[in-house]
């Protein structure tokens, strides 16, 4: 009978580390033909590494200590990369307080001297800071994420951080297409050159790569996509709760995902193996074929 097929699918999925929030989620996932993915920490490992460091005053270690002092208060993957770098260099993080996170832009705070910020060009503009130093503008020519650190309108320097696609992302996207998924879309708050580099490697069409997005932009894009059919959004839970909630099926990836994300999601992937997603989609389709 129908409930029995659903129940056995739920338990088979759970054994594979995929938790559906009820049988309804299986039926909805089976109908999904459009998958939208967050980039950082979802299609990519989220374990970025710091590459270049440009400190305008020439003191790289002092610059990194300040940046890490601020990022020590952030949950973002970028912050973890920066903290690993200062740790590897044996540096002490500067004490920073009154910290505020600005989703898809960066972070602000205050040290003993005054106000500080770190983030992308959106963050810099919000602080009235212009990025015109050639040593800094040159960093943005590459396909890496650039994190600027500034004090008010003064940019103190920047680091580049490079993240790579998960090994399981490309085969998972291929498997999804093989099982009838028509469209795969990437939604990211990161810069377009970075998004294109990762997306191209995964076979995502350039017109389906949306960069520079705020959490609200992701929600709006998902709403538009739903006009063409059922949409799943797959995110790792950093700033993605609204998108997870807006999609027909929200998929939260990784046990590290936040509680908020798990609440907003319909499906939780306990491991970071993206192929579990393709397996779950196939299982959902098989199950629905049985009960119909």
Enzyme catalytic residues = 38
Query: 280 CB contacts (<8 Å, ≥6 apart)?
Result: 13, 16, 18, 20, 29, 267, 269
Q: Is 169 in the site for Mg ion (CB under 5 A)?
A: no
Backbone φ, ψ for residue 210 (5° rounding): -115, 115
Minimum distance between the CB of residue 80 and Mg ion, rounded to whole angstroms?
Answer: 12
Q: Are 65 and 216 in contact (CB under 8 A)?
A: no
- Residue given tokens 């998924």 in the structure block: 181
Q: Is 199 in the site for Mg ion (CB under 5 A)?
A: no
Cα distance between residue 241 and residue 262, in whole Å: 8
Residue 188: closest CA among 92, 78, 268? 78
Residue 168 interacts with, from ligand ADP, Mg ion, none (CB under 5-8 Å by kind): none
Q: By C-beta, is 120 or 168 nearer to ligand ADP?
A: 120
Q: Are 269 and 277 in contact (CB under 8 A)?
A: yes
Cα distance between residue 46 and residue 179, in whole Å: 27
Q: Using CB atoms, what's the residue nearest to Mg ion?
A: 40
Q: Are 189 and 103 in contact (CB under 8 A)?
A: yes
Contacting residues toward ligand ADP, per CB under 6 A: 38-41, 71, 74, 76, 78-79, 104-107, 118-120, 145, 147, 188-190, 238-239
Q: Is 190 in the site for Mg ion (CB under 5 A)?
A: no
**Sign of the alpha-carbon dihedral angle for 267, 209, 165, 141:** negative
Q: What x-and-dash track marks residues 11-50 binding Mg ion by CB under 5 A? A: ---------------------------x-xx---------
Minimum distance between the CB of residue 21 and ligand ADP, rounded to whole angstroms?
Answer: 23
Q: Are 94 and 65 in contact (CB under 8 A)?
A: yes
The residue count for binding Mg ion (CB under 5 A) is: 5
Q: By C-beta, is 105 or 155 nearer to ligand ADP?
A: 105
Per CB under 5 A, the list member of 13, 50, 66, 238 interacting with Mg ion is 238
Taking contact as CB under 5 A, which single stretch among the options 82-90, 131-139, 202-210, 232-240 is the one that binds Mg ion? 232-240
Q: By C-beta, is 157 or 235 nearer to Mg ion?
A: 235
Cα distance between residue 84 and residue 11, in whole Å: 39
The two tokens of residue 267 are 């499906």
Q: By C-beta, is 42 or 168 nearer to ligand ADP?
A: 42
Farthest CA pair distance, the chain: 71
Q: Using CB atoms, what's the residue nearest to ligand ADP?
A: 189
User: How many residues comprise the chain?
Assistant: 292
Minimum distance between the CB of residue 290 and ligand ADP, rounded to whole angstroms?
Answer: 36
Cα distance between residue 4 and residue 202, in whole Å: 37
Minimum distance between the CB of residue 231 and Mg ion, rounded to whole angstroms?
Answer: 18
Residue 230: closest CA among 178, 171, 180, 276? 180
Residue 189 interacts with, from Mg ion, ligand ADP, none (CB under 5-8 Å by kind): ligand ADP
Q: Is 71 in the site for Mg ion (CB under 5 A)?
A: no
Residue 273 interacts with, from Mg ion, ligand ADP, none (CB under 5-8 Å by kind): none
Q: By C-beta, is 238 or 288 nearer to Mg ion?
A: 238
Q: Which residues bind Mg ion (CB under 5 A)?
A: 38, 40-41, 236, 238
């Amino acid at each position: 009978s129908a409930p029995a097929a659903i129940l056995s699918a739920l338990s088979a999925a759970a054994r594979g580390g995929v938790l559906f929030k009820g049988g309804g989620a299986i039926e909805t996932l089976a109908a999904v033909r459009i998958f939208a993915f967050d980039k950082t920490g979802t299609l990519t490992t989220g374990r970025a590494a710091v590459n270049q460091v440009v400190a305008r005053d020439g003191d790289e270690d002092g610059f990194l200590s300040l940046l890490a002092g601020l990022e020590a208060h952030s949950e973002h993957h970028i912050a973890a990369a920066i903290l690993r770098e200062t740790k590897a260099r044996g540096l002490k993080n500067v004490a920073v307080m009154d910290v505020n996170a600005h989703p898809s832009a960066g972070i602000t705070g205050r040290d003993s001297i005054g106000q500080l910020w770190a983030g992308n060009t959106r963050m810099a503009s919000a602080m009235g800071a212009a990025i015109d130093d050639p040593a800094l503008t040159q960093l943005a020519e590459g396909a890496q994420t650039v994190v600027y650190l500034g004090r008010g309108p003064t940019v103190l320097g920047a680091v580049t951080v490079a993240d790579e696609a998960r090994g399981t992302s490309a085969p998972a996207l291929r498997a999804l297409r093989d099982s009838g998924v028509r469209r795969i879309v990437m939604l990211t708050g990161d810069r377009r050159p970075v998004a294109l580099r990762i997306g191209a490697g995964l076979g995502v069409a350039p017109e389906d790569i949306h960069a520079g997005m705020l959490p609200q932009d992701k929600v709006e894009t998902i709403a538009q996509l739903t006009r063409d059919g059922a949409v799943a959004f797959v995110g790792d839970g950093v700033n993605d709760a609204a998108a997870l909630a807006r999609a027909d099926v929200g998929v939260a990836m990784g046990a590290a995902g936040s509680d908020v994300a798990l609440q907003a999601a319909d499906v939780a992937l306990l491991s970071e193996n993206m192929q579990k997603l393709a397996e779950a989609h196939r299982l959902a389709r098989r199950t629905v074929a049985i009960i119909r």
